[in-house]
Chains A and B, each alone.
Chain A
């Protein structure tokens, strides 16, 4: 199974990090992975996205037209990427920020109140890890354990409080979708 995922949101929501943590987790499970950022003329506060491919086979291209999954952290991301999700693919929407419904009926939609959950556990900034927890729980693209280890690796320069908070965020995100 090849997962190709676009993570998209505002600059500052941590979408690049979401992708990097997932790619790191995939690598730790000896899968083939690529991470590719959008690097057009972006501006601070504008939209940002990255594409991650996690596969059992060597990855041809890290650029993906039609992803198997899209994670939309804000409204512009939903508008831009909902039409691109593969049929029967998954769309994850951060409904704390996105106040509209998706148009498609041929994809599975997961509405995650990522900001609300993050605020409830103590810090809005971990909304990205809440979403990533939900994402991995649903897609099983890597294991939750690998995901947490990857997050710890990426945040290894940070304090243990921050790492604990991010761990909790991943678990809460997973729990929200039945994990």
Chain B
């Protein structure tokens, strides 16, 4: 496959087009405006439509509408913009519609800054919007993986009729890296539920509303059944040199790739370190991590946040192995050297 140098956000845009997305609605915000620009340039070339909404609130509701008729739809934004979309995401989840979201996370809270962060982990994986719903959340760590996960995002969205989130950050979004696109035929068929006009068939309804609590509870039970399926089938993670490892680093996304270098540095010094990298943040790979952490002397969780994924690591490890945390916040990217230094301090303290 031919490799090209592409910016993370542009590669996600191209992957979306390759996945058959022809409808994009969005509102520019740093550090992902190049994705909005890319779709504005590319979609007309492939017979799609690009629409710059007047706000993120408008964009998410446009997505809701376009998804209802069975189209593959996407929007992208960054942290404050993603917060604005939460109401619509909850509606889309309840209405059981497929839609792909990209959050190129930046430093927060508040208006924050525009540098890379993972501080929206709670928002992505534990709700963000109201009610009992779940987003499928994918966390790429390279530009190549971002394109692959974008293709997967559209498939999962259709398969489960559920919104899917690509959880990136400013670093992955802004960097250029070689990427190769797999050429594969895209087929999808949403005709069995999409609102396409009820001529010659009974009318259908797509709604996120039921005034009868018993009726709404039924809708909720259906959702929960679906989430259990997602949890059983769609958990993804990468294990790197964990077999003989004495210490396990757990990190996702950008920090996952940085931690991989830490593992290499440690191995060069004879320290047996391994990496567990969750790729799906929901469903979280609890069982696999629980197994990977067994008989390790230490689990070090590293994040670009105050320790949000840390809570899931604790749930997985369940007190069986000691857990430490190292994090940077607000847009500061940890270097491999500083993580390694911290790790060596922990080893000395053991």
Contact = CB atoms under 8 A, between A and B. Distances in A.
B174 A37 contact: yes
A39 B30 contact: yes
A58 B335 contact: no
B176 interface: yes
Contacts, number: 57
Interface of A: 20, 23-24, 27, 33-37, 39-41, 57-63, 65
A114 to B, nearest CB: 24
14 contacts: A20-B5, A20-B176, A23-B176, A34-B175, A36-B171, A36-B174, A39-B170, A40-B114, A57-B264, A59-B257, A60-B261, A61-B257, A61-B333, A63-B335
A20 B174 CA distance: 13
A40 B261 CA distance: 26
Nearest to B172: A62
Contacts of B175: 34-36, 62
Nearest first, the 8 closest Cβ-Cβ pairs linking A and B are A60-B261, A35-B176, A62-B175, A36-B175, A27-B178, A60-B258, A60-B336, A61-B258
A126 B280 CA distance: 46
Interface in B255-281: 257-258, 260-262, 264
Contact of A27 (B3, B261, B336): B3
Contact of A60 (B176, B177, B178, B260): B260
A62 B169 CA distance: 13
Contacts of A59: 177, 257
Interface in B311-328: none
Interface of B: 3, 5, 30-31, 114, 170-171, 174-178, 254, 257-258, 260-262, 264, 333, 335-336
Given A39-B170, A60-B258, 14 more contacts: A34-B175, A34-B176, A35-B175, A36-B174, A39-B174, A40-B114, A41-B114, A57-B264, A58-B260, A60-B261, A60-B262, A61-B258, A62-B171, A65-B335
Contacts of A37: 174
Contact of A33 (B171, B177, B264): B177
A18 to B, nearest CB: 13
A27 B6 CA distance: 12
Contacts of A33: 5, 177-178
B31 A39 contact: yes
A39 to B, nearest CB: 5
Nearest to A64: B335
Nearest to A61: B258
B258 A35 contact: no
B141 to A, nearest CB: 10
A15 B272 CA distance: 41
